[in-house]
Structure formats: C-alpha cells, structure tokens
Amino acid sequence: MPEPLIGTHAHPLPSATLCARLVTCLPSSLPLLRRLRFAPSSPSASAHVLATLPPEGYGQAHFAAAYIDEALGSNTQGWVFSCVELPEEEGGHERTGECAAHVASLLRALRSGVSDALASPALEGGRGSLLLGNVHALTLPLFPEGSVEQRYGPWRKYIFSHASLSAASTPSGGEGEHWTFRPVQPHELPLVMARSSISRTEGFLAGLPSMAAALVPATPTSDRRPDNDDGGESEMKSWAFLDPTDSLISLHTEPEYRRRGLARAVAGRLLRDALAAAECDGHGGRYAHADVGPENEASARLCEALGGRKEGGEVWWVRIDVALL
C-alpha cells in the first residue's frame, strides 16, 4: 500500500494551531515558536508560515514547519523546525524517515510555489536564495544534496528556563563607581553595531529587548538615583539583546571593563525580565536560549554560570539555493 502523500499548508499569522503544537515540542521548537510569536509585533506583507499540519487541526504526530520572510534581506530570513529534533525517547530519532518526508514536502512547497503562501516574486518558480537560521544538526542532513550554498557554524545551543536561571549578580567596580542597568538607548545603537562582527541594522536592534550596564558619573551618595534611573547621564559599558526567537545576542563588554562580572549581570537581568514577562503572557515562554561558537569558551562558561543547559544540540546558519530544494 503506498505511503499517504504529505501535504504542506499555509498558516495565518499568528497561527494558533501551529503555535499550540510547537509548545508541546519545547524547548526543541523554541526558535520557531518565538519567531511566530514575535511576528505580529512587526508585521510584514512578505512573511509566510508553512507547515505539514493543516491549519484546522493537529493532524499527524510528526510534522515540519517554517517561517519565511525573504524581505529581511541580510538578516535571517527563515526558521525551520522538524520533529526529528525531538529527544530520542519522544520518537524523534526513531522516525527519521517519516520526519524526512515532512521536511521534503515543506521544501518542495518552498521551491515550487505550490503553496499560496509563497507569492513573493523572489521565490516564484524556485528563484533566489534564503538565509535560514537555527537549522538543527539533525534537520540539516534532510535538505537535498547541493541545496546548501554556504553554512556557518556549528553553534552549541544553551537552553535557559526561568527556574534554572542563577541568582542576580552584582558587578565588581572600582572605588566610587556606580552602575545602573537599563535598556540600550537609540543614540547608543551605532556603538553596538560598531563593536559587532555580525551585520545587523539599527532598525532591527531598536525593536529588540535589551539591557545595558552603564557607569553613572560620581555624585554624593544622597543624590544617587535608583539603579534603573540615571537621568540620561550614564555611559554604557556592557550590553546584550534578545533577538525575535529569544536568543541572547550582541553580548559585549568594553575591554577595559571586562572581568568584573558585567556580562553576567547584564545577561542575567535581560533573561530574567524576558522570561518573567513571557510566562505571564501564556505563550510557552518558559525558555530562552543562546548559540555559542565552537571556540568561544568564555561565552560557554558564561551560559553555564547563568544556569544554561547544553541540551539543544548544535545548529547552523545556512544559505540555500531555493531552485535546488
């Protein structure tokens, strides 16, 4: 008896059906789930959601899904999730063949434009390329041979939960130093961009949650403001952002202020605030994550000190030739 044909469906934004299914796959599904949750706050006419689940119900046990927005240009343009990424005891590895069939269906829809979700001229007829982010090491081999033009990574994924985060830390400082913690200000974004080797636009960073440690000019103790109020006079020395998937990015401390615990203090406050707010919104917000390069042991130690668990496997950023999917 022939195998049933697996179809790929367009989903609305936000997709309640798909998000509910992704919540059951946490934390493996975190990047795609959080990107879908972020999308309504930054609407895009070129954004599309595809899944091998029908919009009206859960359907089969295994599935693949993607969020694609080719208009994001040099930023990450797509996120893909497959049930092959689930822990082995949940059936991920045992059903690799079935999961591969779902990924193949998803990628065929992307290539051919059979789905109405792919109306963008840049994708019609299988033209163009896309930069996909957080492609799991178990999903990447399911892409057709030759379709990956470039790959960047692998990155080790650390998972943070509200329960596992370490207690808030206070940076050490020199005599008379006073630190305040507050969001990165718009006029500080050019400095953030200048300190990063990754190309990100000012507009993109401006829409993200952020946290900065800023040095407040010395004042008499009686005149000091609360830690989150510096009257606009402080000078930022360490900072971090959370991207649309709740991944810790752009973590940086100016060289002369390193080894004082600033990075841990900044990242810890940012993660704690984000996870507390996400738990309240009921959107599967129990987790955040960070991707650490293979040789970046300092960041790995920081993630572990913050309570991160290296249980997300490895992920890649890949540029794919849509015509070869």
Instruction: Please identify which residue in the block is written with the tokens 């706050």.
Output: 41
So what's the pLDDT on residue 158? 96
Quick one: CA dihedral 55, 58, 60, 61, positive or negative?
positive
One digit per residue, the tens of pLDDT, for the chain of length 325 reads 345 578 899 999 878 899 989 998 999 999 999 999 888 888 888 888 999 999 887 667 789 999 998 888 778 899 999 999 998 755 445 578 889 999 999 999 888 753 343 444 444 444 478 899 999 999 999 999 999 999 999 999 999 998 888 887 888 766 667 899 999 999 999 999 999 988 888 998 999 999 999 998 765 544 545 455 545 568 999 999 999 899 999 999 999 999 999 999 999 999 999 888 876 656 566 899 999 998 889 999 999 999 999 888 999 999 998 888 8
End-to-end Cα, the chain, rounded Å: 27
So what's the pLDDT on residue 200? 86
Question: What is the SS3 assignment for the chain?
Answer: CCCCCCCCEEECCCCHHHHHHHHCCCCCCHHHHHHHHHHHHCCCCCEEEEECCCCCCCCCCCCEEEEEEHHHCCCCCEEEEEHHHCCHHHCCCCCHHHHHHHHHHHHHHHHHCCCCCCCCCCCHHHCCEEEEEEEECCCHHHCCCCCEEEEEEEEEEEEEECCCCCCCCCCCCCCCCEEEEECCCHHHHHHHHHCCCCCCCHHHHHCCCEEEEEEECCCCHHHCCCCCCCCCCCEEEEEEEECCCCEEEEEEECHHHCCCCHHHHHHHHHHHHHHHHHHHHCCCCCEEEEEECCCCHHHHHHHHHCCCECCCCEEEEEEEEHHHC
188: number of Cβ within 10 Å: 17
In our burial notation (b when 16+ CB lie closer than 10 A, e otherwise), range 20-38 reads ebbbebebbbbbbbbbbbb
Cα separation, 63 vs 6, in Å, equals 9
So what's the pLDDT on residue 270? 96
So what's the pLDDT on residue 271? 95
217: number of Cβ within 10 Å: 11
β pairing state of 248-253 and 287-292: unpaired
Cα separation, 171 vs 195, in Å, equals 21
Cα separation, 97 vs 237, in Å, equals 50
So what's the pLDDT on residue 218? 66
So what's the pLDDT on residue 52? 94
Cα separation, 132 vs 139, in Å, equals 12
So what's the pLDDT on residue 173? 66
β pairing state of 9-11 and 47-51: antiparallel
Q: Is the pTM of this model over 0.95?
A: no
Q: Are 252 and 196 in contact (CB under 8 A)?
A: yes
| 228-238 per-position pLDDT tens digit | 554 556 899 99
Q: Are 307 and 267 in contact (CB under 8 A)?
A: no
